[in-house]
Chain A
Amino acid sequence: MILTNLETVPGRRIVEHYGLVSGSTVRAKHVGRDIAASFKNLVGGELKGYTELLSESRNEATRRMGEQAIALGANAVVNIRFSTSSVAQGASELYVYGTAVRVE
C-alpha cells in the first residue's frame, strides 16, 4: 500500500481512480491515562500519554482507510488529509481521507 499526501505517487503513473476512501476512530481517554495526564497538566509540558493515544488512533484510522482502498482494488491512496475534531468531552475523532488509485 502506497500512502502519500501528494496528488500523485512520485515516479509512478496513476492508471485507475476509485474515488474517496476514509477511515475514522473516536477515542476516549483512558481513565488511568487521564489521571496521570491531569497531574501532568498541573505543571504543563508534554502529555506523553495523549501523544501516544492519538498517534495509535491515527494509525488505526489510516489502517481502516487502507483496508477500504484494498477492498476497492486500489494499491495506493493519494492526497491524504488528516483531520481531528473533539466530538464530546474527553473524546476526539480522528479522521483520515484520501483518494484510492491504482498505480503502475
Chain B
Amino acid sequence: MRIIVTVVGKDRMGIIAMVSRILAEQRINIINLDQNIVEGYFNMILIADMTDSKAALKDIQQLFAAEGAAMGLDIKVQHEGIFEAMHRI
C-alpha cells in the first residue's frame, strides 16, 4: 500500500530529516518526493510504500500529527487510493 504525505509550514532546519526518520523507523520506503519553498513556507509532497511496514495507517497519522505539531507543521498522511480514484481510470 502506498501513502501520500503532505507537509506544509514555515521553513526550518530538519523537516525532511524528521519526516524521513519516522518513515525509516516504521520501515516505510520513500519512492518519490516533490519539495519547494515559497516565501519562506515549506511545501512537500511525498509518496511512500508501506508494504514492509507493520504499522497501521492510523498509527502513522498519529505519529506525524504529534511530531508535526511540535515543529509547527501541518502534516497530512493519506491512503493513495483517493488520488488514484480521481486521476487514473
Do A and B assemble together? Answer: no
Taking beta carbons and an 8 Å cutoff, which residues of A are in contact with B? none
